[in-house]
Structure 1
Amino acid sequence: MSVSIDISGLALERIHVVPSPLSELGMSLHALSEPGHHPGLQGWVTAVSTRLDPCLADRLCEADFLWRTTFSDVFAPFAGLPGQSELPGATLAEELDQLDKLSDEQFVDAALEFTCQSTYTEPDRKLLSDPAVQRRALDLAAARGPHQVRFTKRLLEDPPVVRAWFRTLMEDCDEAFFADTWARVHHQLAADARHKTELLRRKGLAEALKAISGAVSLDESGQVITVDKMSDGRTTTGSGGLTIVPTSLGWPHLWVLHRRGWQASITYPISTPGLTSPPTVEQLTRRMSALAHPVRMRLCRHLARGAYTTSELADAHGMTAPEISRHLSVLKKADLITTRRRGRYVQHQLDISVVSRLGSDFIEGVLR
């Protein structure tokens, strides 16, 4: 599974690495609503939450599905502007002005993205003029709860009012806590953006993408960017550009904007000391499948305690050496065991460091 971006014919001059205040505000709201996704931000979350005005907290609850269960494209309005070549604004006010330039249809479509059903590949849904499409949107909202139904009805009935309400809400968040947060993180984001831009210019796109994340790669032809995720999607830069946005508060999320008719964009978490390179979805699936077999689970009990030969494991488990070899081969392909030769004996041992990361790797994989 992956999201691909066809960049055929895209000149390097049309690729930009730029911080986005509005995107980072969205990430901060997500961290506040889902602190479990961001264990490294517990101190920040606690500090902001304890001093947050109760009235503002209640207003945030009215639309938290825009940043809680998904990350709405309303936080990347630059991508929806005509020409697909605009960049994020330098300030939150500039980006909110960009948001005001989106059509009502664009805003409504992006805001009603909170269900599990992807609308990225659907043709234009005509949410503001087709009663059947509106009924479908309300049905999907009903499955998420009355909270979403009320918001959806308000949005479909009077988009300008909801848009004005959302802008005011973002401005109040800026005044309450985000301005201070942005003042602390934007220098780091700008420095990371400059570094990635320098890599792009000096060593090419493949190296720049590798530095962004081990989950992002460029194919040998240099025509397709692939982002390893537990979802499928595709888009193309066409005659537009590609914008790459660093985030400080967003780890482990790696977000790809591939909405039809919008500029392609990748939002990546900047490097954090101590983080290992994330496994691909294929690697993660292979490892979990390998451990799902009861025989291999029993083998792991021995291999976790020391290094054993195939013959020793066969004797211990009452199986033939070829049977044990087949199971060891599966574990080895999943990079779960290490092998070493001692004279004429080959010994196998469980790689505890890899197994111990499976839980966090799984969480990072599904949240990526």
Structure 2
Amino acid sequence: MSLSIDIAGLRPERVAVVPSPLAELGMALHALAEPGHHPGLQGWVTGVTARLDSHLADRMCEADFLWRTTFSDIFLPYAALPGRSTLPAATLAEELDLLDKLTDEQFVDSALEFTCAPGYDLPSPSVLADPELRRRALDLAASRGPRQVRFTRRLLDDPPRVRGWLRQFLEDCDDAFFADVWARVRLPLATDARYKTDLLRRKGLAEALAAVSSAVTLDADAARITVDKLVQGRSTVGDGGLLLVPTSLGWPHLMVLHRYGWQPVLHYPVGSPELASPPSVEQLALRMTALSHPVRMRICRLLARSAYTTTELAQVHGMTSPEISRHLAVLKKAGLITTRRRGRYVLHQLDVTVVARLGSDYLEGMLR
């Protein structure tokens, strides 16, 4: 399984390596929501959480599906603008101005990416115009609790109001903690961007991509970039460009924006913390056996990002609920997933701290 980017006709000057403060803020919010994904940031997460204003913390939970389940495309708004060649801005305020330039349809569709709506990399109707997609978005929000339902309804009923709410929230996050983070990581990210840009100029795109990640390869003859991930998808630069956006907070996530009609973006980490020690041999054998099945690997990829119901997993994988339940039972017996009840829904989620102890290679592949 992999993601591919068709780069036929891509001119060298249309490849850019540029840090993005808004993307880094999105990754900071993700780390705060899912600290288990980022063992090296535990100290920072604890410090920020301890001093976070309770009102801001509550607002952070209100819309956390924008950064907990997946890294929403709203944090890369420049990729959606006409011409598909807009670059990230130098400041958060300037990038929030770019976010304001998205149409309501673009904003809502990218904000509701957690619905796993079909056609992400193909032409598809907007959720604002399609009653069936609207119903599906609300159904999936219901499995995540009343807070998610309320926010999703607000988003569907009054996009401009939610856009204003989100901008104010992101500005408050900047005041509360992100300005200090950006001051610390801005120069290292700029240094990495200069290094990758120099590789592009001196040795070409293949060398620059290899420096981004060993999971990213270029087939020059086929004019195609392939990213080794446990997901399938495709994108094309068309007459636009290709963006490489470094992140200091993102490891082990290697994000690929491949939304139809948007400029392709590789959002890649520039550092990697050490992980915990391996488990016992007996635990390792049990867990690796449970994880060796390809269907369970794909299930774990979803459960690593968020909690899902059995029905949701069955829909995503095109299987029956009993089939999914059997796979979940194997994973639970191995101590790899946790379950919790929310009303009439039972939610399953991967225990990423346990998977981390199996080895960094597996965890990186799962969360890439």
TM-score range, shorter chain: 0.7 to 0.9
Does residue 109 (structure 1) correspond to residue 109 (structure 2)? The answer is yes
**Identity over the aligned pairs, expressed in percent?**
70
Aligned length: 295
* CA-CA distance at 1:140 after TM superposition: 2.6
Any stretches of 5+ residues in structure 1 without a counterpart? 276-287, 294-355
Unaligned runs of 5+ in 2: 276-287, 294-355
**1:247-326 paired onto structure 2 within 5 Å:** 247-272=247-272
292 and 214 in structure 1: CA distance in 2 versus 1, 3 angstrom threshold: closer
Give the secondary-structure state (helix, strand or coil) at the position aligned to 2:57: helix
Cα deviation, residue 143, structure 1: 3.1
**1:244, distance to aligned residue in structure 2 (A):** 0.4
- Offset of 1:91 from its aligned partner? 0.4
The residue type equivalent to 1:245 in the other structure is V
- AA matched with 1:84: R
Q: SS in structure 2 opposite 1:114? A: helix
Equivalence map 1:82-97=2 (5 Å) = 82-97=82-97
Which amino acid is the alignment partner of residue 210 of structure 1?
A
1:13 paired residue number? 13
Aligned to 1:359: 359
Corresponding position: 1:179 with 2:175: no
Q: 1:33 to 1:8 in 2, by over 3 A?
A: same
Which residue identity is paired with 1:37?
A: H
Q: Is the 8 A contact 2:39 2:273 kept in 1?
A: no
- Check conservation: 2:40, 2:273, Cα contact below 8 A: no
Instruction: Kindly provide the CA deviation profile for residues 127-180 of structure 1, in whole angstroms up to 9, marking residues without a partner as x.
Output: 223323322221232233322211111011000000000000000000000001
Q: Residue 26 of structure 2 aligns to which amino acid in structure 1?
A: G
Q: In structure 2, the residue corresponding to 1:262 is in which secondary structure?
A: coil
Q: In structure 2, how many angstroms separate the alpha carbons of the residues matched to 1:66 and 1:360?
A: 26
Instruction: Tell me the distance in 2 between the aligned counterparts of 1:73 and 1:146.
Output: 24
Separation of aligned partners in 2, 1:82 and 1:292: 44
Contact 1:242 / 1:265 at 8 angstroms: preserved in 2? yes
Matches within 5 A, 1:215-226: 215-221=215-221, 223-226=223-226
Q: Aligned partners of 2:221, 2:122: CA distance in 1, in Å?
A: 29
Deviation at 1:220, TM superposition (A): 4.0
- Kindly indicate whether residue 122 of structure 2 is the aligned counterpart of residue 148 of structure 1: no
Q: 1:127 to 1:274 in 2, by over 3 A?
A: closer
State the shift of 1:47 in Å: 1.3
AA partner of residue 221 (structure 1): D
For residue 357 of structure 1, report the CA deviation from its aligned partner.
Answer: 7.6
User: Are 1:49 and 2:49 an aligned pair?
Assistant: yes
8 Å Cα contact 1:115-1:144 kept in structure 2? no
The letter of the residue matching 2:77 is P
Say whether the 8 Å CA contact 1:26–1:71 is kept in structure 2.
Answer: yes
**Cα distance change of structure 1 residues 90 and 53 upon mapping to structure 2, 3 Å threshold:** same
Deviates more, 1:41-50 or 1:73-82: 41-50
8 Å CA contact 2:72–2:111 kept in 1: the answer is: yes
CA contact (8 A) 1:113 1:119 kept: no
Q: Secondary structure at the match of 2:4?
A: strand
1:78 and 1:88 in contact (8 A); partners too: yes
Name the CA distance, whole Å, in 1 between partners of 2:24 and 2:291.
38
TM-score scaled by length of structure 2: 0.76
Alignment match, 1:246: 246
Aligned equivalents of 1:200, 1:265: Cα separation in 2: 16
Gap change, CA 1:357 and 1:140, over 3 Å in 2:
closer
In the TM superposition, residue 126 of structure 1 has moved relative to its aligned partner by 2.7
Which residue pairs with 1:33 in the alignment?
33
The 1:191/1:26 distance shift into structure 2, 3 A limit, reads same
| Alignment TM-score, normalising by the size of structure 1 | 0.76
**CA offset at residue 17 of structure 1?**
0.2
CA apart distance, 1:119: 4.4
What residue number does 1:191 align with?
Answer: 191
Residues 290/172 of structure 1: CA separation in 2 closer, same or farther (3 Å cut): closer
3-state SS of paired residue (1:144): coil
